[in-house]
Structure 1
Amino acid sequence: MSTNVLALDIGTSSVRAMIIDEEGNILHREQTRYDVILVSKYMQEQSPGEIEKYFKDTVRACVENAGVDRQSIKAMSFSSQMYNIFPVDINGHPLYHMILWSDSRSDEQAERLSMIYGKSYLYEATGCPLNSMYPLSKIMWLRENEQEIAAKAYKYISIKEYIMEKIIGEYVVDYSMASGSGLFNIHQLEWDSRALSMIGISEEQLSCPVSGAAVFEFRNQELREELGLPSGIKVVPGGGDGPLANLGSGASKEGVINIDLGTSGAARVLTSVPVVDSEQRMWTYAVTDHMWVYGGILSNVGNGYQWMIRNIAEFAYAKSFDEIFDVVDKKLYKLPPACDDLLFLPYLIKCRSPYWDDKVKATIYGLTHEHTLVDIVKSYLESIGFDLFSLVNIIHEQVKICPDLILTGGLSRTKTMCQMLADILGKKIITLNMAEGSIMGAAIFALYGIGVLKELSFEKELAVDFVYQPDIDKHISYQKKYVKYIRLRNAMYNIEL
């Protein structure tokens, strides 16, 4: 009997479940979508209880519909959205909604921490720039603004820790998720006592840090039977969706950059030592006790593209929403690169790497009566490429990188975006037959944890879908436009109305 694993991804927009064999073949997949609760302009949440229900429904459907011998499913592992946090009481009941990565309600707390303690220690110890994206300041906000709830808080946890506790009966957090809190020392691989003291919590109020490849028993037998899983199945923590995307996309060797274009975006590279950027532009998270991931995050990628399509291009170009992306992609393909000075600063959501500020807002510059809606969409996609160009250059300052880049995420299916990115970066872009990097990374951790894989990668190379070669003439044109883009960004930074 072959060995299969159940890989799970608890994302911002959906729960995905896949049964994957030991060679990396996807045997079956299920997905349940859900929405973000927009409390206000700066407050974005989700319900842990609702996501738990969607998780159960998705796993049950995947196991029932897969058509494989359930006894062949030897382990399960998790990928998860990062940077979310919420308190639970001593019985494990949520006391508040999950506060998401895109929530910036704790700006004031992050700024106050910076003024009191400075930014250097926290960044050098935790690898995280001091920013409201991280649970560090979110917990501080809860303790100051929801004092009755904070008084009842037994633990502050992420959605993955919440679901895993239901399964294994204890609170554990893998190194990569812990690293994404702003509270975890990436050098010592333990909670940083000084960071904890800054926000007034103890180590006991957080989960126990463990390797993402640690193996646990599925102790909740009632839940196991409800999900249709076999007795004896092992539970492996896995990691955060970002670090796992590198492993699952084949970018597991040191120096290979994975660019991930999902709801948000990122450029990441795995390293054998923690890398600290002296200018605090990027982050570094632990993946295992001998592997770290160094990179940067973009807040405005697939979410902004979807907003553009829904609000600007939908009624002009497609009869139904399902047609929109294909229709716009075909129209974009016909446009010449860098054909004019139309520029789009994409900061619909506050800017993260490498600037970490919210002063610059989304801006369209150079618009004339000659431009079309497709020109605007194209300029938005160019802005993603320009910001990624900045991130790749910063990575190159610290790490010896390979010449090729592996592209994953939903926008990697957009051919125009892929070619545009190759032209802007001046590098070869490789896309894979599957865009499931994070969940494949979870499968790798599961197989590695139970000893089927000897390394954190599949033995066979992943199948390449397409290789996009850069056009040097277009690259030169884009470099000129990139200079204007940076000039505009710097100018807008100094404007206050």
Structure 2
Amino acid sequence: MRYLIGLDLGSGSIRAGAFDLNGRPARIASRPSTSVTPDPARPGEIVWPHRAVWATACEVLQEVIQALPADAEIAGVAAACLGMDGVPLDRDNTPLYDFIAWTDSRCVPYYEAWLRDFGEARQFLTTGSPPRGFSTLFRLQWMRDHHPEILERTRKWVLMGDFVNQRLCGELATDYSMAACTLLFSPGAAAWDQGIADKAGVDLGLMCAAKPAGTLLGQVTAAAAAETGLPQGTPVILGGHDYLCGALPVGGHRPGAVVNIGGTWDIIQATLAEFTLPEAAVGTGWTVEHHVAPGQFSAFGAAIGGGVTTWFRDTFAPGMNDDSFFALATEAAASRAALPVFLPHLAGCTGPVMDATAAGAFLGLRQSHGRTEMLAAVFEGLNLQTREILASAACLGLTPERLIMVGGSARNPGIVQSRADALGLPVDVPGVTETTAQGAAMLAGIGAGEFADMDQAVAAMTCAMTRTEPTTDGMRRHDDRLELFRTAFAALDPVNRRGAGDGGPELIEN
């Protein structure tokens, strides 16, 4: 039996999966991702320790490989990865610093200066990406100003998936979708943008060569084989941005497909046949970048989703086990009680407008509101936020007739029903849950020659989906609540701009 291995390097966990050539999972292994605050005096500085990233990847790979039959053959391995977070490597490929996490706020001043000096519209219309406080460009500027001695010794600035690949096979490269996370890459030209680099004062020579996802990088070395359990000589293939890998097993590579990927971020992803940057999309939070599918592009709008429910669980249900919280979420999603209004902007608003000063809030709380009603309000707020983002997709000419939902939230039928009701669209959920790792495995299969192309990989490795139709009562209820949601957002704007709470936006750690 031949297997493909997919790695999923995410904010909440690092996972590995072994899949046969028909997409059936043989083994999934998972460990929590580890982020730390090195200096308590600077709580805004958060990193992923590079040793922990590699050690955790090794652990999940070992667990998966050891569970396979003794005569199993590993056809290839590829990694899907969260965006933006990178590490500087010296000429010996030794890390000189830890990964600055996307939850880290140290680079916000550089982001704000870039908005003033370069501008959001110019950035989007050049690269398809709006500036964000955690974009790679601002990490490089921060390192240049605060640790020039490190940057002087740096040969390459490497994103997390590319770091793991280098440890596996000794080769350095990145794919187009990950390069687009940096603000320094032009998807239309499939090349690094020298003009932006010059304006930012960063050296493009620090960036890895950019290649299409699915490109064969090299083979697992003897040293990596000893640490991971992967057979020496296993092909290592370029994966890509995690949300795009997660869209592959449900046919999300086809133009017109719209996928809702639920994780720490709640993402609406649509596949485009052409690279198009309409001016109407400026300021909406939409990003247009290369897809991991050859010749395709991706538009996505995103906001914190699972990060908000994790915050709620940690704050209002500490110590509750997974089964109990699943039951609470099911009850909350089905609640028909009179609810407070919840604004889910705990990390600012990232769609359908970009507003870093926006903040989360419960409005209209009563003594009758307990934990269940508050969680129901959280789900409603997340649903309405997604509805607003999806509606803004009209600026890209997108009017979906259905939604494909994957990720952690798709495992709860109550949440799926409430999402269908909020959007007024049928929602299809695949039978497989580990779509990100499976999408990486599909790219591994293409790069290793197991599949001729993406269409063949999708035909072989996709599964049946279950459809949830919106209900009339549910759609009416969300229609009624949408105006309250919008009114609350507008009403709190002057409060947020005056710096209520801690005086500014705070990133959620998950």
- On whether the aligned pair clears a TM of 0.5, the verdict is yes
Question: Secondary structure of 2:419's match?
Answer: helix
Q: Cα gap change, 1:262/1:365 in structure 2, threshold over 3 Å: closer, same or farther?
A: same
Give me the whole-angstrom Cα distance separating, in 1, the residues matched to 2:438 and 2:484: 39
After superposition, the C-alpha distances for 1:387-415 in whole angstroms (9 at most, x for unaligned) are 11112112244244441211111111122
Indicate the residue corresponding to 2:289 in structure 1. Answer: 285
CA distance in 2, matches of 1:314, 1:172: 42
Q: Distance in 2 between matches of 1:334 and 1:188?
A: 48
Of residues 425, 428, 435, the one that matches 2:426 is 428
In structure 1, the partner of 2:404 is 406
Please say if 1:22 is aligned against 2:21.
yes
Give the alignment's TM-score, normalised by structure 1.
Answer: 0.93
Secondary structure of the structure 1 residue equivalent to 2:270: strand
Query: How far has the Cα of 1:353 moved from its partner?
Result: 2.8
Which shows bigger deviation, 41-50 or 480-489? 41-50
User: Which secondary structure state, in structure 2, belongs to the residue aligned with residue 105 of structure 1?
Assistant: coil
**SS in structure 1 at match of 2:354:** coil
Equivalence for 1:445:
443
Q: CA RMSD in A?
A: 2.0
* Structure 2 match to 1:131: 132
Partner of 2:359: 361
Letter in 1 for 2:205: E
**What are the equivalent positions in structure 2 for 1:232-243 lying under 5 Å apart?**
232-243=233-244
Secondary structure at 1:269's aligned position in 2? strand
- Structure 1 residues 27 and 480: alpha-carbon distance in aligned structure 2, compared to 1, 3 A threshold: same
Give the conservation status (yes or no) of the 8 Å contact 1:31–1:58: yes
Instruction: Give the corresponding residue for 1:477.
Output: 477
**Unmatched tracts of structure 2, length 5 or more:** 500-510
CA change 1:314–1:60 in 2 (3 A) is: closer
1:372 to 370, 390, 398: 370
- Bigger mean CA deviation after superposition, 23-32 or 177-186: 23-32
Partner residue of 1:197? 198
Whether contact under 8 Å (2:7, 2:17) holds in the other structure is yes
Per-residue deviation at 1:475? Answer: 0.8
Q: CA–CA distance in 2 between the matches of 1:242 and 1:393?
A: 20
Equivalent residue number for residue 325 of structure 1: 325
Does the 8 Å CA contact 2:107/2:142 hold for their aligned counterparts?
Answer: yes
CA offset digits 1:277-301 (Å, max 9, x no partner) = 42422001112551111011212x1
Decide whether aligned partners of structure 1 residues 42 and 489 sit closer, same or farther in structure 2, where only a CA change above 3 A counts: farther
Give distance in 1, aligned partners of 2:97 and 2:171: 20
Q: Cα 1:36–1:294, aligned 2, differ >3 Å: closer, same or farther?
A: same
Q: Supply the distance in 2 between the matched residues of 1:11 and 1:237 (Cα, whole angstroms).
A: 16
Which of 323, 341, 344 matches 1:343? Answer: 341
- The residue identity in structure 2 corresponding to 1:305 is T
Name the CA distance, whole Å, in 2 between partners of 1:351 and 1:105.
19
Q: Helix, strand or coil for the counterpart of 1:361?
A: coil
**2:507 alignment partner in structure 1:** none
The DSSP-based 3-state class of the residue aligned with 2:311 is: helix
- Alignment partner, residue 57 of structure 1: 59
Letter in 2 for 1:28: R
Residue pairs, 1:113-262, within 5 angstroms? 113-218=114-219, 220-262=221-263
Change (3 A) 1:464 1:267: same
Shift, 1:77, TM fit = 0.9
**Kept in 2: contact 1:284–1:292 (CA 8 A):** yes
Contact kept? 1:287, 1:293, Cα under 8 Å: yes
- Residue pair 1:3, 1:73 contacting (<8 A) in 2 also: yes
Query: Kindly tell me: are residues 290 and 34 of structure 1, through their superposed partners in 2, closer, same or farther at Cα, counting changes over 3 Å?
Result: closer
SS, match of residue 22 in structure 2: coil
C-alpha displacement at 1:379, in angstroms?
0.7
Mapped partners of 2:339, 2:7: distance in 1:
44
Q: Which residue of 2 aligns with 1:419?
A: 417
Distance 1:184 1:166 in 2: 24
Distance 2:102 2:326 in 1: 29
Question: Structure 1 residues 111 and 334, CA, compared in 2 at 3 Å: closer, same or farther?
Answer: closer
Distance in 1 (CA, whole Å) between partners of 2:339 and 2:162 is 47
Query: How far 1:168 moved relative to its partner?
Result: 2.6
Q: Is the 8 A contact 2:12 2:33 kept in 1?
A: yes
Quote how far apart the aligned CAs of 1:198 are.
Answer: 2.3
- How far the C-alpha of 1:334 sits from its partner, in A, is 4.7
CA distance in 2, matches of 1:310, 1:323: 15
SS of 1:331 mapped into structure 2:
helix
Question: Following TM superposition, by how much is the alpha carbon of 1:38 offset from its aligned partner in structure 2, in angstroms?
Answer: 4.0
Q: TM-score, normalised by structure 2?
A: 0.90
Percent identical: 19
Closer, same or farther: CA 196–30 of 1 in aligned 2, 3 Å: same
Report if aligned partners of 2:333, 2:376 keep a CA contact under 8 Å in 1.
no
Partner AA of 2:49 in structure 1: S
* Preserved contact between residue 80 and residue 241 of structure 2 (Cα < 8 Å): yes
CA–CA separation in structure 1 for the residues paired with 2:13 and 2:339: 37
Q: Which amino acid aligns with 1:469?
A: E
Partners of 1:460 and 1:6 in 2: CA distance: 15
Tell me, yes or no, if the aligned pair for 2:17 and 2:26 is still in contact at 8 Å.
yes
Q: Which runs of 5+ in 1 are unaligned?
A: none
Change (3 A) 1:322 1:189: same
Q: CA deviation at 1:262?
A: 0.8
Alignment pair present for 1:296 and 2:301: yes
| Cα distance change of structure 1 residues 46 and 461 upon mapping to structure 2, 3 Å threshold | closer
Tell me by how many angstroms 1:222 deviates: 2.5
Aligned to 2:69: 67
Asked if structure 2 preserves the Cα contact closer than 8 Å seen for 1:295 and 1:391, the reply is no
Indicate if the aligned counterparts of 2:4 and 2:442 stay in contact, CA closer than 8 A: no
- 1:249 corresponds to which letter in structure 2? V
Shift of 1:341: 5.7
SS in 2 for 1:37: coil
Q: How far is 1:376 from its partner?
A: 0.8
Output one character per residue of 1:467-486: Cα deviation in whole Å (capped at 9) or x when no partner. Answer: 21101232122112112111
Q: May I ask how many residue pairs the two structures share in their alignment?
A: 488
Deviation at 1:322, TM superposition (A): 3.0
How many Å apart are 1:231 and its aligned residue? 4.2
